Amino acid sequence: MSDADGKPAERRLGRGLEALLGQAVSGGKAGGNLPSQKPIADEKRAEEAPADPVQDGGLFQVNVYQIDTNPYQPRTEFDEEELNSLAESLSDHGLLQPIVVRKDGDRYQLISGERRWRAAIQAGWTEVPATLREADDQQVAEMTIVENLQRKDLGPLEKAVSFRQYLERFGASQDELARRLSIDRSTVANLIRLLELPLAVQELIRDGSLSAGHGRALLPLGQEQDQLKFARQIRSEQLSVRATERLVAERIRNEDDPHGLSQTETTTKAGDGSSREHLVPLEQKLRSALGTSVDIREVAKGRGTIVIHFTSREEFDRLYHELLEREGRDRMAG
């Protein structure tokens, strides 16, 4: 069976999923008990694949137990109440958007629509409408990331995991992934760096106690015990991201200059006794861009130094290559 307009589905990233929206359709209902909520794909095997071959972009009915999960999907937990609500909606209104699958031997593998698939089984359906796509592993991973970026209920760490898996599996650079997804490289880099935080801090981000911005502000501390200590302080005192950045910057400055000599030198040589307030927002922008602590030290009007901190050889290598890449992009743009 072909889709409504008879045209093949778009193959550009971010557009393929949009092309699959259609009218509500109902799935086949099961007559007995609902399947177990254990791993669904292994609960029951379908007897045969459809006799008539389906073309790329075609809409067809597929047995729900002939479908396997998407290996590139970072989400592993699904809210039971949301699934119940979606199952009721499917029973009342049908499925407004078919799931998307690809052929995998004599079975099918999900590309998008796992919640709809699980809810269909919970509603007692034995078949579900699906759109078939021809896609290799890299295309499936990219389409999964695109779908996840559009989801507001998917956390930053789950998105970060999908980015890292893609880079490791396909040997791509962050620049390449950003270009493929039409997003800023900083978005990719900032999310992935959250995975460098201690697991206890990641859990605070995962449960909503801390935001991704808080997590990025903690990265320059380097030491896990410091990051965890500050994370708990953020939660208990309900600190904003800006307040966290100031707290971290002050801690690093005190470690590097325990007697405040640099600040004294700045005030004396500048000759006007002015505060550093005008430098703080500049430091924050540099910290956000580079993902590490940065100090601006003004020793005279229009003169000074910019200090970029690193806490390991790996972080030094990252900063070194990132600065060289920026220089190369600037030259190309010029």
The predicted-structure confidence for 37-75, as pLDDT tens digits, reads as follows 333 444 444 444 444 567 777 889 999 999 999 988 877
Higher-scoring residue by pLDDT: 99, 51: 99
242-254 per-position pLDDT tens digit: 899 888 888 877 7
* SS3 letters across the chain: CCCCCCCCCCCCCCCCCHHHCCCCECCCECCCCCCCCCCHHHCCCCCCCCCCCCCCCCEEEEEHHHEECCCCCCCCCCCHHHHHHHHHHHHHHCECCCEEEEEECCEEEEEECHHHHHHHHHCCECEEEEEECCCCHHHHHHHHHHHHHCCCCCCHHHHHHHHHHHHHHHCCCHHHHHHHHCCCHHHHHHHHHHHHCCHHHHHHHHCCCCCHHHHHHHHHHCCHHHHHHHHHHHHHHCCCHHHHHHHHHHHHHHHHCCCCHHHHHHHHHHCCCCCCCCCHHHHHHHHHHHCCCEEEEEEECCEEEEEECCCCHHHHHHHHHHHHHHHHHHHHHC
Q: Are strands 107-112 and 67-68 parallel, antiparallel or unpaired?
A: parallel
pLDDT band of residue 19 (cuts 50, 70, 90) is: very low
Tens digit of each residue's pLDDT (9 = 90 or more) over 257-277: 554 544 444 443 333 435 567
Out of 80, 82, 114, 298, pick the active-site residue. 114
Identify the residue with better confidence: 75 or 100: 100
Q: Could you confirm whether 158 is annotated as catalytic? A: no
Tell me the pTM: 0.60
Does residue 141 contact residue 102 with C-beta atoms inside 8 Å?
A: no
What number does CATH give the domain 18-135?
3.90.1530.10
pLDDT at 227 over 60: yes
pLDDT mean over 89-113: 91
- Whether 102 shows a pLDDT value over 90: the answer reads yes
Domain boundaries of the chain, sorted by first residue: 18-135
Q: Which range in 229-238, 290-299, 321-330 is most confidently predicted, on average pLDDT?
A: 229-238
Query: pLDDT averaged over the chain?
Result: 76
